[in-house]
């Protein structure tokens, strides 16, 4: 808490600005407002602490500018889902990542602009999306099996980068029908690091310089997809089931560059979040070996008579429960921001245009008033009606956001997570060096697990049988 002198200075200069917000609880502001609470601390931890200390709404001050932290499901629904949602745009992350992505996707589009049109172009919004998802299970399973074989040869791995590349490769199979080269992956990572530098910078964005050769790398990354699209147009393979091929069959008039930007943008939208969700899941499974054994047994039964299918995954209730519980207890995206495009009424006060609204799922995902034993990894909570009680995007469970602007790739992410968990668990046990809580950094707007290391050990038929019996 700021000392008396710091609080006095703030009140001297900005006391009049505080009066209209006197009805709201929150920490006492100092010279920096309450921004000092976020210095050196994870923003999601601060937001969760505010939820415990102040309830569903907390008044914050970013310097002299008021803002809100929301931990109230009803207020969050008002911002995300009500007809008033058009008053609240994404926070400044859209501007922070804009140089690395493109304006041809809904990722950075404004609600007041052409977001609806761009959203309708996304793969998840297509009438063939469900059929395409079903077609991806087998190819992605094969890609992940190949990646697991390579990781088995390594004596020691850092799980976060290892599963990031595994995820990137599986996404590539779904996007263009095959894994992409190391060069494409390295270009993707350079663009992501450039965006992350803007996200984490304490300086005005105009002072954040891009890395060397940034423009050339960006042109090469998206140009790679343009080249593939042009080659695919020439081949016209009716058997290809990847996103690119489906678009070229179903929407042959789509512009090559627009499609290339959508394909490239897929990685930014999901590769980091999906991979760190897997890291969190396997970390918890190491901590709770009975849950791990049950996953291994169910996964082995799924692949016993042939490749995975969407129907098999839909029937795999423990696999789904593990995925849901990982998304609950360790969601990859824990802080989302919105800002009113004009002065807006919310929580009984008038927020000035441009104010910061922080929405975190960390507190609500672990709210003891809603979740029994909330800090324990218990996949069984999702069985026997659990997914109906707390569906994705509901008040206490929204790892992909809420409302119309929730992640358009959520359905794909869930299929990927279940397929990856089943494929990996059926073939190997991930043995970690420690089940203690890992350090949580931040990268590209996503939680970054640090120090989750270990090795992969092949599962034998005897071990799988023992797990099934147990």
Instruction: Let me know if residue 197 belongs to a domain.
Output: yes
Which letter does DSSP use for residue 303 in this model? Answer: H
What's the rounded Cα separation, in Å, for the pair 298 and 318?
A: 7
Q: What is the 3-state secondary structure (H, E, C) of 182-233?
A: HHHHHHHHHHHHHHHHHHHCCCCHHHCCCCCCHHHHHHHHHHHHHHHHHHHH
- What 3-state class would DSSP assign to 240? coil
Residue 94 neighbours by CB distance under 10 Å: 16
Instruction: Let me know if residue 427 belongs to a domain.
Output: yes
Instruction: Look up the pTM and report it.
Output: 0.94
Given a cut of 70, whether residue 467 has pLDDT beyond it is no
What's the rounded Cα separation, in Å, for the pair 222 and 218?
A: 6
Query: How many angstroms from the chain centroid is the CA of residue 316?
Result: 23
Is 282 within 8 Å of 430 (Cβ atoms)?
yes
Instruction: Let me know if residue 51 belongs to a domain.
Output: no
Task: Tell me the average pLDDT across 124-144.
Answer: 95
Residue 469 confidence (pLDDT): 47
Q: Which of 435, 437, 425 is nearest to 463 (CA)?
A: 425
Residue 187 confidence (pLDDT): 98
User: Helices (H), strands (E): how many in the chain?
Assistant: 18, 12
Q: What's the whole-number average pLDDT of the chain?
A: 93
Instruction: Let me know if residue 326 belongs to a domain.
Output: yes
Full domain range(s) for residue 365: 72-469
pLDDT classification of 465: cutoffs 50, 70, 90: low
Check whether 407 is labelled as a binding-site residue: yes
**pLDDT for 233-265, tens place per residue?**
999 899 999 999 999 999 999 999 999 999 999
**pLDDT for 361-412, tens place per residue?**
999 999 999 999 999 999 999 999 999 999 999 999 999 999 988 888 999 9
Instruction: Let me know if residue 379 belongs to a domain.
Output: yes
Domain at 183, CATH number: 1.10.630.10
Q: In Å, how far are 27, 234, 337, 375, 382 from 355, measured between CA atoms? A: 17, 50, 10, 32, 37
pLDDT classification of 463: cutoffs 50, 70, 90: low
Which backbone phi and psi does 270 adopt, to 5 degrees? Answer: -145, -15
Instruction: Let me know if residue 451 belongs to a domain.
Output: yes
Instruction: Let me know if residue 24 belongs to a domain.
Output: no
Number of domains making up the chain: 1
Residue 370 confidence (pLDDT): 97
Q: Which of 71, 68, 72, 75 is nearest to 34 (CA)?
A: 68
Residue 461 confidence (pLDDT): 61
**pLDDT for 177-220, tens place per residue?**
999 999 999 999 999 999 999 998 888 888 899 999 999 999 99
Which letter does DSSP use for residue 111 in this model? Answer: T
Instruction: Let me know if residue 90 belongs to a domain.
Output: yes
Residue 13 confidence (pLDDT): 84
Task: Tell me the average pLDDT across 282-292.
Answer: 97
Given a cut of 60, whether residue 466 has pLDDT beyond it is no
Burial class (CB in 10 A: 0-12, 13-18, 19+), 461: exposed
What's the rounded Cα separation, in Å, for the pair 240 and 380?
A: 38
| One-character DSSP codes across 50-107 | HHHHH-SEEEEEETTEEEEEE--HHHHHHHHTSGGGGGEEE-THHHHHTTTS-TTSTT
Is 92 within 8 Å of 339 (Cβ atoms)?
yes
Portion of the chain with pLDDT greater than 70, in percent: 98
Q: Which of 111, 75, 42 is nearest to 351 (CA)?
A: 75
pLDDT classification of 1: cutoffs 50, 70, 90: low
**pLDDT for 12-62, tens place per residue?**
888 889 999 999 999 999 988 998 999 888 999 999 999 999 999 999 999
């Amino acid at each position: 808490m700021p000392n008396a002198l710091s609080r006095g200075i703030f009140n001297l200069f900005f006391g009049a600005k505080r009066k209209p917000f006197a009805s709201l609880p929150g920490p006492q502001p100092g010279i920096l407002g309450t921004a000092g609470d976020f210095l050196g601390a994870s923003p999601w931890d601060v937001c969760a602490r505010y939820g415990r200390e102040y309830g569903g709404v907390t008044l914050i001050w970013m310097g002299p500018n008021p803002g809100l932290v929301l931990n109230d499901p009803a207020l969050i629904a008002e911002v995300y889902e009500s007809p008033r949602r058009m008053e609240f745009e994404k926070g400044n992350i859209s501007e922070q990542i804009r140089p690395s992505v493109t304006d041809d996707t809904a990722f950075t589009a404004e609600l007041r602009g052409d977001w609806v049109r761009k959203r309708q172009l996304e793969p998840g919004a297509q009438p063939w999306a469900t059929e395409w998802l079903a077609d991806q299970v087998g190819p992605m399973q094969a890609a992940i099996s190949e990646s697991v074989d390579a990781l088995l040869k390594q004596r020691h791995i850092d799980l976060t980068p290892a599963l990031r590349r595994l995820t990137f490769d599986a996404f590539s199979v779904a996007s263009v029908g095959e894994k992409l080269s190391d060069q494409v992956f390295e270009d993707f990572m350079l663009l992501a690091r450039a965006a992350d530098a803007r996200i984490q910078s304490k300086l005005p964005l105009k002072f954040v310089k891009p890395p060397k050769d940034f423009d050339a790398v960006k042109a090469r990354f998206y140009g790679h997809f343009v080249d593939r699209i042009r080659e695919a147009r020439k081949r016209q393979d009716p058997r290809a089931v990847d996103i690119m091929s489906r678009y070229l069959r179903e929407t042959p008039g789509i512009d090559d560059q627009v499609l290339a930007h959508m394909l490239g943008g897929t990685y930014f939208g999901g590769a980091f979040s999906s991979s760190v969700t897997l890291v969190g899941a396997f970390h918890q499974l190491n901590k709770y070996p009975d849950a791990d054994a049950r996953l291994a047994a169910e996964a082995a039964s799924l692949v016993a008579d042939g490749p995975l299918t969407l129907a098999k995954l839909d029937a795999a209730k423990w696999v789904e429960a593990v995925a849901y519980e990982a998304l609950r207890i360790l969601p990859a995206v824990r802080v989302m921001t919105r800002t009113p495009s004009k002065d807006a009424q919310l929580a009984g006060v008038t927020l000035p245009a441009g104010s910061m609204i922080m929405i975190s799922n960390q507190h609500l995902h672990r709210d003891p008033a809603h979740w029994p034993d909330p800090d324990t990894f218990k996949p069984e909570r999702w069985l026997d009606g659990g997914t109906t009680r707390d569906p994705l995007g509901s008040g206490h469970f929204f790892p992909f956001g809420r409302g119309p602007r929730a992640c358009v790739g959520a359905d794909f992410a869930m299929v990927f997570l279940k397929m990856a968990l089943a494929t990996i668990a059926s073939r190997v046990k991930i043995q970690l060096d420690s089940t203690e809580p890992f350090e949580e950094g931040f990268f590209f707007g996503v939680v970054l697990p640090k120090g989750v290391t270990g090795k992969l050990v092949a599962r034998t038929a005897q071990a799988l049988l023992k797990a099934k019996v147990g």
